[in-house]
Amino acid sequence: MSGNPMDVLAVAIPFLPVLSAVVIFLFARHRRSASARTSVGVTFLVFVLALAELGGYLVSGTPQDVTIGVDWGSLWIDPLSLIMWAFVSGISLLVHIYSVRYMVEEPGYPRFFALLDLMTATILFMVSAADLLTLLAAWFLVGVLLYFLLGHDTDRPAAGRYAFWTQITYRFGDLPLWMAAALLGETYHSLSLPVIFSRIQMAPAVHTLWGIPVLEVVGFLVALAAFARSAQFLLHGWLPYTMDGPTPVSALMHAGIVNAGGFLFNRFAPVFEHAGDVLHLAFLVGLVTAITGSALMLIQNDVKRSLGYSTMGQMGFMVMECGVGAFPLAVFHLIAHGFFKASLFLSAGNVIGDARRQDGVPADPVYTSVVERRPRRPSRLPWMVAAALTILVPITVLALSHFFVAAHAFYEQGVLILLFFGWVTGAQALFAAHKMTRTNPWRLMGGILVSFVLIVVGYTLISHYFGNFLYPGGRGERLYKAASLGSFPFAALMLVLALLFVGGWALTFFADTLDLWGSLGARWRGTYLVLYASLSRELYINDLYARLSQILISASRRLNIWLRWC
């Protein structure tokens, strides 16, 4: 390691939480107040140093590989690492401060803060690893430390059971990443990620494995590891059931740890430039996960489990963004969702307390219109005006904002898909506003339109300049190109999505006017009950896994008995 002060600062950032954990373990393991003050103080210092490092890079920085004395254990100081450092340390600081009072009556108080510090350090090493061994070690240790944090309360059997469930899923996701690392190291004769990525750029299509391009195989393995860590469909069962752990751990996990899939896609972006088929798979998996997570979220009666399925849906959308080539947008989504979900989890206790004090649901227009489907007839916009605003305004705002910021983006299929989903989201918000009742519906709609315009313009500007900061060499355009479909599949995809949305919008919009729910209720009641039962049992996926577990345990017992007989 050189004597450059910035290099010393970069090495100190991930090691300071380790030092804090060691100090707590050796000198404050029986001093509750001292352990909390030490942990919070060091985390605050790490956050300040991470911001300073990011600011220094913005002024006059270039990506560099900082080696800590040996061939492995190196740190990659690049835009992605610095942004993730600031984000992770900020989230960790919030969780640390919240835990000071929340965990004060829990046993193992100093141990909890030591584990939080070790988790923070491990994530900081993971997001800045410059070699495969450091990345794999940190990736593995995140799962181990999460197991101990989720099972912190040893008196609750459910916490330990679901912590073990999470551990098993994480270990399953580790295997493909280890295989991908072995394949990259063997193919490009290096463990350094910058070296491997530079050799990929020089000769991307040279190496094959059993006739399949190596980068396609590596991309698939990395994507599979990201799917397991980010709770994608069929690998999501552990996420909602981790709520038996402490609330600060839930906040840290849903805000920072479960987002690791989006980080992994971005770290291996040079691989995915040449693995377009894997990006198509990621889009499909993310789409199914987003729909499933959102549907399961709506049917939960537990606020924390509802937040868990909400995280699943958001992770699906994040993987979708990677699937269309919008890698920088996935990082921006990761950060925004992290802070938002952390605040929701840390305030979940207040929501539960308010619900216990007031059992009845207030007579609010949003609840009346959306949940009970009984909107008040007066004080609503004419349906023709609302339809025009719902359809035309979002697509106009989205198109103009992207045209003035980056007109070339309209030639990228991924941008068009994201614009479509932005249009759907905006139309849904405006339609919900139309169904709400107020004394002045025009003022309500006007306020929502102004808010929508400000959000879209800000989001467009931030995503554009943020993407240029993360990938200044034109990599963003190459990722969009890798994720592109053929002309016919792309047109068919957009047509199907548009028909589904317009059909659902029209059915919902005219439901009250034509009394469709009353006329179709009896005919579709059986289908509705089946759908409701499936969603309430979480599509029976967890039941299937439980049954498979029982079969494996029974088979292992029989095998054990048979081996003893032999």
- Per DSSP, the residues of 233-267 read TTS-TTSGGGGGS-HHHHHHIIIIITTHHHHHHHH
Q: pLDDT tens digit string along 223-247?
A: 999 999 998 988 888 888 777 778 8
Residue-level pLDDT at 451: 63
Lowest pLDDT segment from 102-116, 124-138, 180-194, 470-484:
470-484
Q: Are 245 and 151 in contact (CB under 8 A)?
A: yes
pLDDT at 529 exceeding the cut of 60 = yes
Residue-level pLDDT at 496: 77
Q: pLDDT tens digit string along 125-161?
A: 999 999 999 999 999 999 999 989 988 877 777 777 7
Residue-level pLDDT at 376: 47
Q: Are 213 and 274 in contact (CB under 8 A)?
A: yes
Separation CA 273–CA 258 (nearest Å): 24
Residue 438, classed as helix, strand or coil, is: coil
Residue-level pLDDT at 96: 94
Separation CA 391–CA 430 (nearest Å): 9
Return mean pLDDT, the chain.
79
Separation CA 259–CA 69 (nearest Å): 30
Residue-level pLDDT at 389: 61
Distances (CA, A) of 244 to 120, 143, 439, 508: 21, 17, 44, 37
17 versus 380: which is more confidently predicted? 17
Q: 75: alpha, beta or left, given left = phi > 0 and alpha = psi -120 to 50?
A: beta
Residue-level pLDDT at 141: 94
Cα angle vertex 181, ends 131, 11, to 5°? 15
Residue-level pLDDT at 471: 85
367 versus 443: which is more confidently predicted? 443
Best-predicted range by mean pLDDT (449-453, 491-495, 503-507): 491-495
Q: pLDDT tens digit string along 190-228?
A: 899 999 999 998 877 767 777 778 899 999 999 999 999
Q: Are 419 and 498 in contact (CB under 8 A)?
A: no
pLDDT at 365 exceeding the cut of 60 = no
Instruction: Provide the whole-model pTM.
Output: 0.83
493 versus 126: which is more confidently predicted? 126
Residue 268's closest CA among 253, 257, 278? Answer: 278
Show the tokens assigned to 289.
């996960």
Percent of the chain with pLDDT over 70: 72
Q: pLDDT tens digit string along 279-321?
A: 999 999 998 998 898 888 878 777 778 888 888 988 998 998 8
Residue 213's beta-bridge partner residues? 208
Distances (CA, A) of 92 to 6, 39, 254: 23, 10, 12
Cα angle vertex 113, ends 262, 83, to 5°? 30
Percent of the chain with pLDDT over 90: 29
Question: Distance between alpha carbon 109 and the CA centroid of its chain, in Å?
Answer: 29
What's the mean pLDDT in 87-96?
Answer: 94
Q: 192: alpha, beta or left, given left = phi > 0 and alpha = psi -120 to 50?
A: beta
111 versus 65: which is more confidently predicted? 111
Show the tokens assigned to 238.
């552990």
Contacts of residues 528-532 at CB distance under 8 Å and 24 or more positions apart, as own/partner, are 532/299
Separation CA 293–CA 291 (nearest Å): 6
pLDDT at 119 exceeding the cut of 90 = yes
Q: DSSP character for 64?
A: E
Confidence band for 545, pLDDT divided at 50, 70 and 90: confident
Alpha helices, DSSP H, located in 373-484: 383-405, 413-435, 441-470, 475-482
